[in-house]
Each structure stands twice: as C-alpha cells, then as structure tokens.
Chain A
Amino acid sequence: MTLDEISILSVYSAMAVYAIAFIAYSIDLAKRSAASATAADAQVAAASGTTSKAAATAAAGGSVQTAVKANAPAKAASARPGGDGAVAYGRSPSLRVAVAMTVIAWALHLAATVLRGIAAERVPWANMYEFALTGTLVITTVYLVVITFSRTTDLRFLGTFITGLVLVSLGVATVNFYVSVVPLPPALQSYWLVIHVFVATAAVGFFALGFALSVVQLMQSRREAIAATADAAKKSFLATLPSAASLENLAYRINIIGFILWTFTLMAGAIWAEKAWGRYWGWDTKEVWTFIIWVVYAGYIHARATRGWRGTRSAWLAIIGFSAVLFNFTVVNLFFKGLHAYSGL
C-alpha cells in the first residue's frame, strides 16, 4: 500500500465517522424539539394557574446576556421554562457522542491530509481534490476550536451543519475530484502556494461557520417573530438555541475573521501573481470572483452598521457571500477559463 492509498482509506474512515456524528447531531436536534415542546406545555400549564403575563413575556423576550447564560451546563435535557427566551437544554448524551465522533473523524481526516502531503512531498493543497480535503479539514478544525474556546456561547448545535457539509464535500471530492499524486507545475512552485492557498482555505472555514450561524439566525428571527402567537414555534429546537441577536453577533465575529483572512488571500495572491504571471492584478476569472466575494463581505460589514440593514438583511448578505465562495471553488474552477487552472481535472 502506498501512502496515498492509506490516505484515501483514512478519508473513507473519516467519512464514516462523520456520518455517525451527523446522525448523533440530528438526534440531538430532535431532542431539542422535544425539550422545548415540554417546556412550552409546562408553561401553558403554569400560565393557566397563575397570571399568564409573566410567563408569556419570559418566552417571548430575547436578550443576549441571558440567552447565553442559559447554555451554561445545566442538567442534561432537563427542560424548564427559561425566563429569558431560550429554553435551558444543556448537553444531551447524543450531543456528547456527536462531539466525540467529530473529534475522531477530525483526527482521521487530519491523518489523511498529512499522509497525502507526505505522499506528494509538498503541501496537500495543489489541486481541487486536495483543496477540498484541506478545506473541509479547516472547517472542522475551526468548529472544534470555536466550541472549545468559546466561553460565552455553546455552538455545538452547529455540528449537524458542519459534519453534513464536510461529509458531502468529502464525498464529492473523493468521487469527482480525485487525482493521483502528480508533481507541481512550475507556476505553483513557490512558497506563496503555502501561504496564499492555506489562508484562503482558512478563510473559507470561517465563512462556512459564519454562513451556518446566519442561516440559524434567520430561522431564529422568523421564529421569534411568531413565537408569541404560534404554539409550534415554541416547540421548535430553535427554542433551545441563542437568540437571533446573539447569533447575529456571533456570525459577525466569525465572518470578520474570515474577511480579514480573505483580504490577506487577495493580497498574497496579487503578490504571487506578480511573480508568476508578470502582473499583480489582471481580472483573471478567479481574481474577479475573489474580488466579488471580498466586496460582498465588505457590503455585509457595512450592512451591519446601516440602519434598516442590521439583522435579517445583513444575514442574507453573509449567505450570498458564502454561496459565492462555493461558486468560486466549484463552478469557476471547473467551467471558467482562466489562469487559475489548477483543478487537476
């Protein structure tokens, strides 16, 4: 067996474990729905006994600080009516399993990527298969780092999205993008390959997380808008998650890190292009899309400081931004003509 074959085997193992993690995360979401349903029912029962006003206010009102506190370790799945908008939920056993599986899958994924690099005798991000392999590894890494170090908010609920995205991407990469190890063409033989491409994949990792948060934010703000009247909204798994405002702040903080990395990617790319192609900017298709993505996220950051655009509208911009990132990685790489023709396909 060659190192590359072991690497592939490791990718498949990682995918299997990601799949288990994905299922466990989904079970956790289902349990969240059950927990909020119990909480909502309990509240109705309580409200019928006493004045209903206080409880209703408690369910409808959302606040950053208090929603955050509700995520502090409470008794697993012990649903109680939160006084602050979020139903206290804590960490269910399936969530613990899911996170453990994610860590194992990440380790296998890391091994696969490192082995691929050793097999190729260079950094493992020189063609589309390798970009996908490393990019998804970065996404998982960012997720794991954030849930480890985030002191105020527990983002484990994003696991369904993260493992799902990584699983699908790895599947597409191994089936459609796989190429065997080949040497680097002269244009890629530069230390800028290490810097430019790695920072770009890191940026994508943050944008992916920001995208997920923005999606949940939109769902949450829709729920918050109808929560006062609609009973179903109270029983959604979303009731256990941070408030829309809190999700928006988190998405913003993650996205601005992505934006700074993307700015650096663009600049490092220009410096490299000057060396390899004789000009730092030439409106090559990939350069165009890198620029478009940069402008969209710049728009997102402005939108967040523009009256009438905070909240839902700016979240849509973050979603459009990440869609452009995916478009840039897939469609532009595969179907557009340009100098960045390194897909290896």
Chain B
Amino acid sequence: MVSSRRSEAERADAASARDTGVDPLRPSDYDDGTTGADAGAGADAGDPGRAASADRNRGDAVTGPKLGPVGWLRFAWRQLTSMRTALLLLLLLAIAAIPGSLVPQRSSDPNGVVQYFADNPDLAPVLDSFQMFDVYTSVWFSSIYLLLFVSLIGCIVPRTKHHFQALRARPPKTPARLERLPAYVERPLASSDATDGAPTSEAAIERAAADLKRAGYRVERYDVRGAPSVSAERGYMRETGNLVFHTALVGVLVAVGIGGGFGFSGQRVIVEGQSFVNTLAAYDSFNPGRFFDDTSLTPYRLTLDELEAVYETENRDALGQPIDFTARVSITGDGEAAARELKVNEPLYEYGTDVYLLGNGYAPTITVRDPDGEVVFTDSVPFLPQDANLTSIGVVKVPDGLDEQVGMVGFFYPTQTTLSSGAFTSSYPDLVYPVLTLNVFQGDLGINEGTPRSVYQLDTSGMEQLTGGQTGVDSIELMPGESAELPNGLGTVEFENATPDAADGDYSESVPRFASFDVHHDPSQGWVLVFSVLILGGLLLSLFVPRRRMWVKAVTRADGSTVLQYAGLARGDDPGLERAVEEFADAHAGKEPVAE
C-alpha cells in the first residue's frame, strides 16, 4: 500500500528533519497532508517544545480544575491560536457579514434606514437593538474580527521568530532509506565524475551539491553510514510569503483603524457660478475622523464654472441615458486660480484633499418680490433629482419681507410631459421644455427659534397651503423667464431665465445646474494600498513557491556497483515534486535509469 509506505517514510524523514527543526512552525492541529506524521506521532517525541506543549495540553485535560490562572490563560491562548479556532472565526466572520447586505446600513444608505423604520415600525427597533443597521461597526462583528486578528497575531509572532531561525538552520540530515520517499529515482554513477579513470561517488555528490545550490537550494553535506550524500532544501519564500500575507492583513486593519481617524469626509453642493471655501462651516455635511483637527483644513476656494451633462440622443434603446458629466472648476489656494476638470471617474487631488463629482441636478433661479416690486428673495435653489429623467424637488423659504412667512415646494421638470393621469413628469433629463411648478404655503416656517432645518425640506405643520394639493387652486406653473402672482396678494414669484437672449424655444442653458461634491481626506489610503500589494505578493509566494527537500546519495550495493539515489519530499502542496526530482536526476546523471 502506497499510502502507508508514504507515511512511514515521512515519519522517518520527520525524525531526521526534527533534528534541525527547519519545518515552519504551525499550530498543533495544523495538517496540510505532508506533515501529518509530524503533527501526530512526531510531535510527542521529537520537538521538545511541541512535545512539552502537548504534555501540558494533556495535563490540562486531566487536571483541568487544578490549573492556576496562568495555566488557564495559557490553555485559552493555545485554543485561540489553533487552526480550528482561526477557521471557526473566519466562517463566523463570513456569516456575520451577511445581515449587512440584507438590511440597509447607516454608513452606506442612511435614507434606506429611515425608510426601513417607516416601513417596518415594529421590527426596525428590535433590529436596531442588535445593531443591525451598523453591522460593520457593531460590537459582535468587531469582536469576531478582533478575536480573529488576535488569533492571527498569536500565530504569526512565534512563527516569524521561528522562521528567522529556520532561515539560518542547516537542511535536515539525509534519511537512511531514500527509496521510501514519495518522489524517488535511481541513476548509475555517471562517467563524467571520473577523477582517476573510475567515477567516484564523492565527485558525483560534490557536483550534485553545486547543481542544487545553483538551483536555489540551501545545501549541506552529510555522510550516512559511509555513503556520501547531500541534503538540500528550498522554498523558504513560501513561509516568508505566508508571514508577509498575514502580517499585511494586520497592517490593513491597523491602517484603517488608526489612519482613518485622522481623515474627514464632507459634502457640498455648488451651483454653477458659485464657490465654496474649504472650511468647516462651508460644508453641507461633515464627518470628521476620531482624531481629526479642523485647523488642518487648507482654506482653498473652489468655484464651479460650468457643469456639462451629455445625454444619449441617438441610440433608441438608451435615449436620455447619461453619457458624460464634466465639472469645470477653478481652484484658488495660495496662488493663481487654476482651471481643472472633474469627471465621475476622474477626481481632483488638490491641497491634500480629494474632490469627487458624485451628483448633479438643476438649480432654478427663483426671485420673490413683495407687492411693491422689491426683491425679498432671489437664489438658485438646488432641486434634488428624483428619477433618471431628473424630475426634481426643491424648497424655497422666504422668512422675511412679505406679510407672512412663505414657503414653496417646487417640482422641476427639465422636459415636461403630462401622464394620462394628468400628473406632470419629465421625459428627458436635458432642458428641452423646462417647467417649474410651485405649491405655496404661508404661516410659520418654524425657523424663528433657531432650530436647524434642512434646506431640502419644508415643515408645513404650522403653515396653510395656498396652491396645489386639495386647495382647489392650481399650482403655480412657470417656464424660464415667466412670473406669476402669489395668492392673497403676497407678491410675485419669477423663474428667472439664465439665458434671456437665447433664440425662441431654446432652453438648453436656461436653468443653472449644480454639482454635489464629496471632499475627502484619508491618510490611511496609501498605507492600505501598500499593505494590499504585500497581501497579494505574499499570497502568490505562499501558494505557488514549493517548499521542497531534495537528497542525493551515492550508495554502494552488495555487488560493489554504485548507484545515485535522488529523492524529494514536499512540505506543503507541491504538484511538481516528482517531475523536479526526475529532471534533476536527468540533468545530473543522464536519462538512463539503473538497470534492474
């Protein structure tokens, strides 16, 4: 039976290998199929450290309750750093990540969470108590990955130490019976190793050692019972790569955990022609990291000169699909203003911040006048897009200057059409037939007490609706350049045309656009990239570099003839071992096998 022969051979090999202890250090329940004999029968006898720990393990099991606190800690630590625990934690981590994809998360989809609470008023608070809306920062998710990383560190620190020693250790002693190893060939002594007419085994082994060294093996000469031999080992990069991979994983976690704390992210909407200065107060929303210092913001000025949107006009299957968004901006810092372009996949990296173009829409310019014609409000108001054809909703608040506080909820349709139900909708995202409708409210805007209110929402609880809805009065409907009377003689409202001189019916530039920018600073980003590259590199080395031992021995048979024995042993997955041994033998002694 091949399998039993193999394990026997490996036990024999393991015995000799353990003398030098060059095998990579692994948890006691490690088994990659080649170290099985090692871990089982081998560990008890050979490796003093491992045997001792196995004894202790056994002791723990028997005399468990009598263990002191240190003993228990040691026991717990060994459990935590075992392969089985690591595997369990990995699988737990995979399972724990699932809920975050089933339920909206506050970090990636805050509006979805609000909606979820509205849709499931009974279930949502229960889920929330389990941190289901913050899965990836939750106590339970964090404890799984932190335990996993503690287990990982507990594993790689001793292994790294061990590996540094292994890198200086000698290859193991040549096993007594090479023919028992899984990869084995014999060749006759080559005539090229002749010194005084007859080929000598000493010369052949010397040459084999040189060849192996050239092939990247670390070599050591041993004479076993008078037979000269060379023992060689290669593939230390396998363990190096493995350690680099795991250490870099820790690196990513640390970089994200610490580096991320020094960064910030902020959002800001800018209408064409307007600008923004990079200061805390100028952001619409701002999320600083834990250690962020707001004096570190560089106060540069960013002006949106133009936002160009291109939509598909020819492909009938994709009419109105966005083709390109380009924001042309000027950025002024310590010197001259510099013109820059941003696109969706081309962010701006300036003054230590990254600026991304994440959204855009229309910002109709609305002017409100009192009955005497005095302007009491004029602004380009960003309307938030609601669908692919940019039907948009916006809010106008006029707190002062009229008899009553006035609020208006507006719908903007860049290309207005009427549905069969009579409702308006937009049929195309560009400005072909722009229409603005306004529902007017009067009363208390609810901003007098200084309560912060969203500029995108109108609290109508203290207000009376004057147009639209169930008032019986039609909503105000305006095209660019038109104006209308507000009800109750409050005044007038005008939808300003940005290009009053354009040809009749050309509305293409009549309404300003806005762009919404994300501004980030994340000092961990570069580190994460570096560690990711190390992860990938380490992974490649640890999975594809074969760790392999090779021996060449010159054996004199009973009949006086000398044969060269070549044997190899894999440490870990190594599909090419047999071929490698054969090819080495072919190169060293020719292709002719020993005649039996």
Q: A interface vs B, CB < 8 Å? A: 57, 61-63, 65-66, 152, 179-183, 185-187, 189-190, 192, 249, 252-253, 256, 259-260, 263-264, 267, 270-272, 274-280, 282-285, 288-289, 291-292, 295-296, 298-299, 302-310, 317, 332, 336-339
The answer to whether A295 and B94 have CB atoms under 8 Å apart is yes
Confirm or deny: B431 has a beta carbon within 8 angstroms of a beta carbon on chain A. no
> Could you say which of B83-91, B405-413, B441-449, B465-473 contacts chain A?
B83-91
Q: A186-B345, A278-B347 are in contact. List 4 more A-B contacts (CB 8 A).
A: A182-B315, A260-B540, A260-B543, A304-B33
The answer to whether B94 and A282 have CB atoms under 8 Å apart is no
A299/B94 contact (C-beta < 8 A), A249-B575, A277-B358 known: yes
The answer to whether A302 and B573 have CB atoms under 8 Å apart is no
Confirm or deny: B29 has a beta carbon within 8 angstroms of a beta carbon on chain A. yes
The answer to whether A284 and B344 have CB atoms under 8 Å apart is no
A283/B107 contact (C-beta < 8 A), A185-B322, A252-B573, A253-B575 known: yes
The answer to whether A263 and B536 have CB atoms under 8 Å apart is yes
Complex CA gap A135/B83 in Å reads: 34
The answer to whether B107 and A307 have CB atoms under 8 Å apart is no
The residue of chain A having its C-beta at the shortest distance from the C-beta of B93 within the complex is A295
A292/B83 contact (C-beta < 8 A), A181-B315, A274-B525, A310-B31 known: no
Majority secondary structure of chain B interface residues (helix, strand, loop or mixed): mixed
Out of B32, B315, B325, name the residue touching A305 (CB < 8 Å).
Answer: B32
Most chain A CB inside 10 Å of its own CB: which residue of B30, B83, B98, B358 = B83
The residue of chain A having its C-beta at the shortest distance from the C-beta of B356 within the complex is A278
The residue of chain A having its C-beta at the shortest distance from the C-beta of B267 within the complex is A278
The answer to whether B323 and A275 have CB atoms under 8 Å apart is no
The answer to whether A285 and B536 have CB atoms under 8 Å apart is no
- B1-21 at interface with A (beta carbon < 8 Å): 1-3
Chain B residues closer than 8 Å to A179, beta-carbon distance: 317
The residue of chain A having its C-beta at the shortest distance from the C-beta of B540 within the complex is A260
The answer to whether A190 and B345 have CB atoms under 8 Å apart is yes
Chain A residues closer than 8 Å to B371, beta-carbon distance: none
Complex CA gap A317/B539 in Å reads: 19
Complex CA gap A310/B84 in Å reads: 12
With both chains docked as a complex, state the minimum distance between the C-beta of B497 and any C-beta of chain A, in angstroms: 28
Q: Mark B312-325, 1 if CB is under 8 A from A, else 0.
A: 10010110011111
Most chain A CB inside 10 Å of its own CB: which residue of B1, B108, B522, B540 = B108
The residue of chain A having its C-beta at the shortest distance from the C-beta of B3 within the complex is A63
With both chains docked as a complex, state the minimum distance between the C-beta of B91 and any C-beta of chain A, in angstroms: 5
Out of A186, A282, A317, name the residue touching B108 (CB < 8 Å).
Answer: A282
- B306-335 at interface with A (beta carbon < 8 Å): 312, 315, 317-318, 321-325
A299/B543 contact (C-beta < 8 A), A186-B344, A276-B344 known: no
Chain A residues closer than 8 Å to B86, beta-carbon distance: 302
Majority secondary structure of chain A interface residues (helix, strand, loop or mixed): helix
A186/B343 contact (C-beta < 8 A), A299-B94, A305-B30 known: yes
The answer to whether A282 and B345 have CB atoms under 8 Å apart is no
- B478-523 at interface with A (beta carbon < 8 Å): 518, 520, 522
The answer to whether A285 and B101 have CB atoms under 8 Å apart is yes
Complex CA gap A196/B362 in Å reads: 33
Chain A residues closer than 8 Å to B323, beta-carbon distance: 183, 186
Confirm or deny: B97 has a beta carbon within 8 angstroms of a beta carbon on chain A. yes
Chain A residues closer than 8 Å to B350, beta-carbon distance: none
Chain B residues closer than 8 Å to A183, beta-carbon distance: 312, 315, 318, 321, 323
Question: Can you sample 8 A-B contacts with CB below 8 Å?
Answer: A63-B2, A189-B344, A283-B136, A295-B93, A299-B90, A302-B87, A304-B33, A308-B31
Chain B residues closer than 8 Å to A256, beta-carbon distance: 543
The residue of chain B having its C-beta at the shortest distance from the C-beta of A60 within the complex is B1
Chain B residues closer than 8 Å to A304, beta-carbon distance: 32-33
Complex CA gap A154/B410 in Å reads: 69
Chain A residues closer than 8 Å to B98, beta-carbon distance: 288, 292
Chain B residues closer than 8 Å to A306, beta-carbon distance: 29-31, 83-84, 87
Confirm or deny: B284 has a beta carbon within 8 angstroms of a beta carbon on chain A. no
With both chains docked as a complex, state the minimum distance between the C-beta of A45 and any C-beta of chain B, in angstroms: 24
> Could you say which of B69-77, B120-128, B527-535 contacts chain A?
B527-535
Out of B3, B573, B578, name the residue touching A253 (CB < 8 Å).
Answer: B573
Complex CA gap A285/B543 in Å reads: 29
The answer to whether A308 and B317 have CB atoms under 8 Å apart is no
Out of A152, A180, A284, A307, name the residue touching B83 (CB < 8 Å).
Answer: A307
CB-CB nearest 10 A-B residue pairs? A182-B318, A278-B356, A186-B344, A307-B31, A63-B2, A306-B83, A299-B90, A295-B94, A288-B101, A278-B518
The residue of chain A having its C-beta at the shortest distance from the C-beta of B99 within the complex is A288
- B245-291 at interface with A (beta carbon < 8 Å): 265
The answer to whether A278 and B100 have CB atoms under 8 Å apart is no
A337/B112 contact (C-beta < 8 A), A182-B321, A278-B520, A309-B87 known: yes
Chain B residues closer than 8 Å to A276, beta-carbon distance: 344-345
Chain A residues closer than 8 Å to B3, beta-carbon distance: 61-63
The answer to whether A299 and B91 have CB atoms under 8 Å apart is yes
Q: Mark B92-133, 1 if CB is under 8 A from A, else 0.
A: 011001101100110111001000000000000000000000
With both chains docked as a complex, state the minimum distance between the C-beta of B38 and any C-beta of chain A, in angstroms: 11
With both chains docked as a complex, state the minimum distance between the C-beta of B156 and any C-beta of chain A, in angstroms: 14
The residue of chain A having its C-beta at the shortest distance from the C-beta of B35 within the complex is A305
Most chain B CB inside 10 Å of its own CB: which residue of A253, A288, A317, A339 = A288
Confirm or deny: B354 has a beta carbon within 8 angstroms of a beta carbon on chain A. yes
Most chain B CB inside 10 Å of its own CB: which residue of A180, A186, A280, A337 = A186
Chain B residues closer than 8 Å to A267, beta-carbon distance: 532, 535-536
Confirm or deny: B346 has a beta carbon within 8 angstroms of a beta carbon on chain A. yes
Complex CA gap A152/B577 in Å reads: 12
The answer to whether B573 and A249 have CB atoms under 8 Å apart is yes
The answer to whether B347 and A296 have CB atoms under 8 Å apart is no
Confirm or deny: B458 has a beta carbon within 8 angstroms of a beta carbon on chain A. no
The answer to whether B31 and A186 have CB atoms under 8 Å apart is no
A187/B345 contact (C-beta < 8 A), A256-B543, A263-B539, A278-B356 known: yes
